[in-house]
Amino acid sequence: MKKHLVDLRINKVERLNETCVLLVMTSDEALPACRPGQFAELRVDETPSVLLRRPISIHSFDAEKNEIGFLVQVVGDGTRWLGSLSEGDKVNVLLPLGNGFTILEDKSARVLLVGGGVGSAPLYGLAQELKRIGQDFAILIGARAAKDLYRRDEFEALGRVEYTTEDGSLGEKGYVTNHSLLKEKFDYIYTCGPKPMMMAVAKYARENSIPCEASLENKMACGLGACLCCVEDTTSGNRCVCTDGPVFSIDELKW
């Protein structure tokens, strides 16, 4: 898959809460096709303390509108700069990167998407695709509190969505792995979120013999498989999350 280095223009900025921003970008040229679960590396300008690009998962991709969406959680100087951008601003973007989620051959399989906080971002694009191809799916998203659950209306427009919050402010109180939805039968699980959550989901999947894939977010530099900084210790040795991932089958992970 050819990778592109392009200047994208911000079409829309939506501040979802005090730390999370949705950036929708476009280009005069056709955007390269992106698959659910792939990511991009966004160049951060004008900040002397930030050297490297910021890897951000692709939240949504609309070939018809020629738009790509990113959910950016402000955690440091780089994401703070990205979060302060306005409509019309340009961002230099390297994409599409990584492998993306596996789309199953078996369209009768029932799949579960489990997200945590801003980690739910790539599951939106995945759910869009699953809806388009007619795969039966349910979405389960967990967060600390209701305010940390992003784009609920948009997720709910795609299918069934259940929630857990640690403070009980929305959905069932507790963690995703305690949710009653898991009593139902699923044939495949996709997960993205904080590592402890994904490890708990992987444990549940193993115990119930459900194939599962997880999207990792190891600290990254080049995004191209050249620097070998973002490696995950897998069953076949150190592998680059940027090119061999970010999506791995849990069978490959030593969790």
Partner 1 sequence: MVKTDVKIGGLNLKNPVLTASGTFGYGLEFADFVDLNKLGGFIVKGTTLNHREGNPYPRSAETPMGMLNAVGLQNKGVDYFAENIYPQLKDLDTNVIVNVSGACIEDYVACAEKVNALDKIPAIELNISCPNVKQGGMAFGVQPQSAAEVVAAVRKAYDKTLIVKLSPNVTDITEIARAVEGAGADSVSLINTLLGMAIDSEKRRPVLSTITGGMSGPAVKPIALRMVWQVAKAVKVPVVGIGGITNGRDAVEFLLAGASAIEVGTANFMNPAVTGEIVDYIEDYLVRHNMSSVDELIGALQV
Residues at the interface with partner 1 (CB under 8 A): 2-5, 43, 48-53, 92, 94, 218-233, 237-238
Distance in Å, CB of 228 to partner 1, minimum: 5
At residue 5, the 3 state secondary structure works out as: strand
Of residues 146 and 224, the one with the C-beta less far from partner 1? 224
| Closer residue to partner 1 (CB): 146 or 227 | 227
> Are 212 and 250 in contact, with CB atoms under 8 Å apart?
yes
Identify which of residues 53 and 59 has a Cβ nearer to partner 1 in the complex: 53
Question: Which residues are within 8 A (CB) of 38 and not within 5 positions of it... i.e. 6 or more apart?
Answer: 57, 58, 95, 96, 97, 98, 99, 100
Q: In the bound complex, what is the minimum distance in angstroms from residue 232's beta carbon to partner 1?
A: 7
Q: Which is nearer to partner 1, 16 or 52 (CB)?
A: 52
Q: Where are the alpha helices (DSSP H) in the chain?
A: 77-83, 121-133, 152-156, 195-207
Report the nearest approach of partner 1 to the CB of residue 225 (Å): 5
**Do the strands 67-73 and 54-62 form a parallel or antiparallel pair, or are they unpaired?**
antiparallel
Residue partners of 70: CB distance under 8 A and separation at least 6:
22, 23, 25, 40, 42, 56, 57, 58, 59, 121
**Which is nearer to partner 1, 96 or 122 (by Cβ)?**
96
- Minimal distance, residue 73 CB to partner 1, in Å: 17
Q: Are 129 and 160 in contact (CB under 8 A)?
A: no
- Least Å distance, CB 53 to partner 1, is 7
